[in-house]
């Protein structure tokens, strides 16, 4: 019976380095997904608060679909769907080609799409919280619509949307655990392997849970720092 | 005087300015047509690969999977609701120890992925097999189904406790004071004054929690419970036919949408006295 510390050490028979690699994969997946999700979410929110009914309809369909599907199913749809789709497209040119989708990219796209559909709702309610007078004030001092958006609306929008977005970030961090189902070596995957090999399942899954908790705690420190920074800019006007 | 009152009926609102095909409008229609094309493509794909044999073979298992999903979610939501009451009480009590324990519980279950929690219970408790056998609980933790229900109930209890606490705290302090001035006991106040107001606030979060559980329950497929997702994965691994996933997506989507509209309808109905 090996001791707990030997199992978690960073040596050749310890699993510390493998789990650390899993943490790296989880964190980098979440960090790469965040800007993608924010960008799509913002664009969808713009569509949903547009004065054009067609634009609003298109945005609402997007949100309805990706908020209604289970995250795991979205991941499988992207993973297998893209694999089959690209394979058939490639086979038109080269009949014997075999396409393998990178599970990291599939995870990024699936989680980004889910994140963006929730983020668009957060952005939308933030847009509604900004009074019309802000736009009119921007136009009346001669700013173009684009400038008004960038200089007047966005700084306020970020401040209002920040609590909702930080909530979504914590959800995203937890959702990354799902990519272990398509074979990406994240925290859960690495601890499952360690658990299967060493038969210390409770230890390794407990460690995995604690790592997620630690990531959540670190994030909340980061979020507090960002909130203070954004709040300071508000006080300075 | 009488001359001014006559012509008012003839004053008409100016006609709306003509709506041209602005860039935004064109782009919006492009997106809508894109969605329509996608939907039509989906339908034609499902028609083109329509296979009565496959349907006869897997449709019953999809239905049983759907039933498993619904039963799993229903049991864990109810158990979680029962469990959330003492947690919420501890969370709102002034006792330091109770408060710390319940805070730790809620923080743990809200801060870690449901998948990791399920693995911790299903695989992790297997590490304690001799001890569990000694107390006669091994039969419970050996079954993936019971482990899933257990993990989901603990998880949703943490979320529901927070929903309940938020709803109770949203009712003003004056309501408690007024009730105690009328001579109602604490329990009476809670039942007759606070909860009727709090549950209106809590309805939407509860609905969202049920939807999140339905979506989250897909992960039990990974620990070999054959819910809708599990049946889908089994069908896909036997046929390598992508339509298996599309059918599951349609089923999940219609389930979630039905539930969402149901919650909307209930909310409209029970807040009728608040609207004019």
Domain assignments of chain B as residue spans, ordered by start = 64-274
B246-257 burial string, b = 16+ CB within 10 Å, else e?
Answer: bbbbebbbebbe
pLDDT at residue number A236:
54
pLDDT per residue over A131-189, tens digit each? Answer: 999 999 999 999 999 999 999 999 899 999 999 999 999 999 999 999 999 888 999 99
Average pLDDT value over all residues in chain B: 90
* B249 chain-A contacts, CB cut-off 8 A: 69, 73, 77
The answer to whether A52 contacts B25, with C-beta atoms less than 8 Å apart, is yes
Candidates B109, B4, B248, B106; CA nearest to A69 is: B248
Q: How far is B188 from chain A (nearest CA, A)?
A: 36
Complex-level ipTM = 0.88
Mutation site for B-interface testing, chosen from A43, A67, A71, A73 by largest number of B Cβ within 10 Å: A73
The answer to whether B31 contacts A55, with C-beta atoms less than 8 Å apart, is yes
Number of Cβ atoms within 10 Å of the Cβ of A154:
13
Domain B64-274 in CATH 1.10.3720.10? The answer is yes
The answer to whether B120 contacts A84, with C-beta atoms less than 8 Å apart, is no
Q: Is the pLDDT of residue B102 over 80?
A: yes
Q: Is the pLDDT of residue B6 over 60?
A: no
The answer to whether A68 contacts B257, with C-beta atoms less than 8 Å apart, is yes
pLDDT per residue over A195-229, tens digit each? Answer: 888 888 899 999 999 999 999 999 999 999 998 88
* Percent residues over pLDDT 70 in chain B: 97
Q: Is the pLDDT of residue A86 over 60?
A: yes
Per-residue pLDDT band at B129 (split at 50, 70, 90): confident
Q: How far apart are CA B99 and CA B92, in angstroms?
A: 7
* B113 chain-A contacts, CB cut-off 8 A: 174-178, 188, 212
pLDDT at residue number B55:
86
Q: Is the pLDDT of residue A65 over 80?
A: yes
pLDDT at residue number A191:
92
Mutation site for B-interface testing, chosen from A26, A50, A58, A181 by largest number of B Cβ within 10 Å: A58
Per-residue pLDDT band at A95 (split at 50, 70, 90): confident
The answer to whether B113 contacts A216, with C-beta atoms less than 8 Å apart, is no
* A76 chain-B contacts, CB cut-off 8 A: 233, 245
CATH topology of domain A4-235: MetI-like fold (1.10.3720)
Q: How far is A133 from chain B (nearest CA, A)?
A: 22
Q: Is A41 exposed, middle or buried (0-12, 13-18, 19+ CB in 10 A)?
A: buried
Given its phi and psi angles, is residue B240 left (phi above 0), alpha (psi -120 to 50 degrees) or beta? Answer: left
**Would you list the domain boundaries of chain A?**
4-235
Q: How far apart are CA B217 and CA B211, in angstroms?
A: 10
Instruction: Spell out the alpha helix ranges (H) of chain B.
Output: 2-5, 23-48, 52-92, 96-111, 114-122, 129-135, 138-142, 144-170, 173-181, 186-189, 195-216, 228-239, 243-270
What the block records as the tokens of A154 is 């966005």
């Amino acid at each position: 019976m090996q001791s707990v510390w030997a199992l978690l050490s960073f040596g050749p028979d310890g699993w510390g380095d493998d789990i650390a690699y899993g943490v790296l994969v989880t964190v980098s997946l979440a960090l790469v997904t965040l800007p993608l999700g924010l960008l799509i979410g913002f664009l969808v929110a713009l569509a949903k608060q547009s004065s054009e009914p067609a634009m609003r309809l298109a945005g609402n369909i997007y949100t309805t679909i990706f908020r209604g599907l289970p995250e795991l199913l979205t991941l499988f749809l992207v993973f297998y769907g893209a694999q089959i789709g690209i394979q058939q497209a490639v086979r038109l040119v080269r009949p014997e080609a075999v396409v393998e989708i990178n599970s990291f990219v599939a995870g990024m796209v699936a989680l980004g799409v889910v994140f963006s559909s929730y983020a668009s709702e957060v952005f939308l309610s933030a847009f509604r919280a900004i009074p019309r007078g802000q736009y009119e004030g921007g136009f009346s001092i001669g700013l173009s619509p684009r400038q008004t958006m960038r200089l007047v609306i966005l700084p306020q929008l970020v401040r209002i949307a920040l609590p909702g977005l930080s909530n979504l970030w914590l959800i995203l961090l937890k959702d990354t655990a799902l990519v272990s189902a398509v074979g990406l070596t994240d925290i859960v995957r690495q601890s499952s392997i360690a658990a299967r090999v060493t038969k210390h399942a409770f230890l390794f899954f407990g460690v995995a849970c604690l790592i997620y908790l630690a990531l959540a705690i670190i994030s909340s420190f980061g979020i507090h720092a960002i909130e203070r920074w954004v709040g300071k800019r508000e006080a300075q006007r | 005087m009488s001359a001014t009152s006559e012509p008012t009926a003839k004053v008409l609102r100016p006609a709306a300015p003509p709506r041209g095909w602005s860039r935004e409008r064109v782009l919006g229609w492009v997106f809508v047509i894109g969605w329509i094309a996608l939907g039509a493509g989906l339908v034609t794909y499902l028609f083109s690969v329509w296979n009565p044999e496959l349907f006869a073979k897997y449709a019953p298992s999809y239905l049983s999977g759907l039933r498993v999903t619904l039963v799993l979610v229903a049991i864990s939501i109810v158990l979680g609701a029962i469990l959330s009451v003492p947690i919420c009480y501890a969370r709102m009590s002034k006792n330091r120890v109770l408060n710390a324990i319940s805070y730790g519980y809620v923080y743990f279950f809200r801060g870690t992925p449901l998948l990791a929690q399920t693995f911790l219970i299903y695989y992790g408790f297997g590490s304690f097999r001799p001890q569990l056998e000694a107390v006669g609980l091994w039969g419970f933790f050996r079954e993936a189904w019971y482990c899933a229900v257990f993990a989901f109930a603990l998880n949703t209890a943490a979320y529901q406790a927070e929903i309940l606490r938020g709803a109770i705290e949203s009712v003003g302090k004056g309501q408690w004071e007024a009730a105690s001035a009328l001579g109602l006991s604490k329990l009476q106040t809670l039942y007759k004054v606070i909860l009727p107001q709090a549950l209106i606030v809590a309805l939407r979060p509860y609905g969202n929690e049920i939807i999140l559980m339905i979506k989250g329950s897909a992960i039990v497929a990974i620990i070999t419970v054959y819910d809708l997702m599990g049946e889908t994965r089994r069908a896909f691994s036997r046929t390598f036919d992508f339509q298996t996933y599309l059918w599951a997506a349609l089923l999940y989507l219609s389930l979630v949408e039905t539930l969402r509209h149901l919650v909307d309808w209930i909310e409209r109905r029970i807040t009728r006295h608040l609207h004019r």
